[in-house]
Structures are given as structure tokens and as C-alpha cells.
Chain A
């Protein structure tokens, strides 16, 4: 099939006509005030930054939660120390009258 020449192409390209500009585009869009941007504005965050922020928040929450538990753990030894301490007296401690050493050979180690 023979391709179009320059003149034919230019002529045919002009057949593609755009629609009229819509009347809704009749005035310049108003600039958004800064306080309105705080209510309806959006920002784009790159995925790695978003993931890092979420991970940071998760870690922060984790450490905050574990930080609350720590006082409870440190209280437990104090509770133990409050128990009455048994006093051991050495008054009845007597040395043995006679030492009876037994020599056990390697063969009778189990006995």
C-alpha cells in the first residue's frame, strides 16, 4: 500500500478537530489558602520513606510499651526482700567426734 505524501498527510491531520473548551473552564481556578490546604491538601510520600516511618513508629510504640513493663519487673525483687528472713544460729553447730575417711577406688565410684 502506497504511503501518504506530505501534502496528503497535512490535509488528513486537520480532520482531527478538538471539542470546544468547556464552559466550566471559564475562569481561572482560585488559589487555595494555606489553612484550607491543612484540611484538604495531600502530600506524596515515596514508598521507602513511608515504610521507614511506619517501622520507626512501630519501634517507638514497642519501646514505649516495654518501658512501661520495666517498673513492674523491678518491683518484684523488693517484694521478695519484704519477706521475713530466717535467722540461722550456729549455737548448735558441733564438730564430729571422729573422722572416718573412706577411700573409694575408681572402680567403685558408683557406690
Chain B
């Protein structure tokens, strides 16, 4: 990739990379650092992107994922990445806006379920692209996404119209 192509890629994909990093970290400053690191990495090692293996967007989101994971590992050295026994309970929505409530529920998911859900639901990557980005099999990604959605169904159950006992701030 030439420097001009990298600059064009920055303009085109920086929002997606920032958005993904923000959803993973929930910190604007950390998301900005991660986004900068992603494009700096592309500038330093452009040969790492191979067009035949997927889209540039998926590649950049995969790089952002790796950097987020590295940062998470530094802060949570002993926590498991994937918790198969994690069973979500309905959350108490008292005094929260729906957006915050959803963010809180997603943050409670085990990391590998969370990143899969964000890449699929918010960034619209296909299962194959996610599998490539997170270095896993398509079947594994499918299973993580399924478990993430099942957990969220339960955690966010108080938002179901028939379960609502209070009015919501939108």
C-alpha cells in the first residue's frame, strides 16, 4: 500500500475503528489511542494487509481488536477471556437511559462474546470476517454470538414492553 492509499483508508475507516474501540473500552481517550495505533501500524507494516484475505475494513477492525485485547490483558491479567458458565441475570434499569443500560449489559459479557457481538451487530462484519479478525473458526464465532445474544436477551428483559413497570428516558 502506498502512503496515499493509507491516508485514504484513514479517512474512510477511522470512524469505524474509533467506534469499535470506544465500544470495547467505553473510554474516548483509549479509543482514540487505539485508533491512532491501528493506522500507525498500517503505516509501519502495510505488507500485513493482504487484499485476498478480506476487506481492509475487516483487517483494520481486527487490528483494533488485537490492540484492545492486549490492553485488556494488561489490566485484567488473571481474568478469563471466555467464560462458558457465564449466565446473565436481568439487570436493574433504575435511573438509567436505555443506551447506558445496553452499554452496561454488553460490558458485562465475557470479552470474546462482547467483541464478537460488537463486530457483528454494530460493525456489520460477516461471520467469516469476524473469524478472521479474532483468529477463530467460523463455528466458534457463531457459538459466541449466539451465547452473547442469549445473555443479552435475559439481561435486557426488563426492557420488554410486557415486563416494563416504569417509564424509560430515551
Contacts and interface: CB of A to CB of B under 8 A. Distances in A.
B127 interface: no
B2 interface: no
A16 B32 contact: no
Interface stretch (B17-25, B59-67, B76-84, B136-144): B17-25
A82 interface: no
Interface in A1-24: 1-6, 8-10, 12-13, 15-19, 21-22, 24
Given A1-B163, A25-B14, A16 B103 contact: yes
A1 B90 contact: yes
| Dominant secondary structure of chain A at its interface with chain B | loop
Interface in B151-170: 152-154, 156-160, 162-163, 170
B157 A15 contact: no
B40 A12 contact: no
Contact of B159 (A12, A22, A27): A12
A28 B99 contact: no
| Dominant secondary structure of chain B at its interface with chain A | helix
B102 A16 contact: yes
A6 B152 CA distance: 10
Interface residues of A, number: 24
A32 to B, nearest CB: 8
A29 B170 CA distance: 37
Contacts of B10: 27-28
A83 interface: no
A31 interface: yes
Contacts of A21: 14-15, 18-19, 35
A19 B19 CA distance: 8
Contact of A28 (B39, B90, B103): B39
B154 A3 contact: yes
Interface string A27-48: 1110100000000000000000
Given A16-B99, A25-B14, 8 more contacts: A2-B163, A4-B152, A9-B149, A10-B121, A15-B102, A16-B102, A25-B35, A28-B43
Interface of B: 6-7, 10, 14-15, 18-19, 22-23, 28, 32, 35-36, 39-40, 43-44, 90, 98-99, 102-103, 106, 121-122, 149, 152-154, 156-160, 162-163, 170
The 3 closest A-B pairs by CB, nearest first: A3-B153, A16-B102, A15-B98
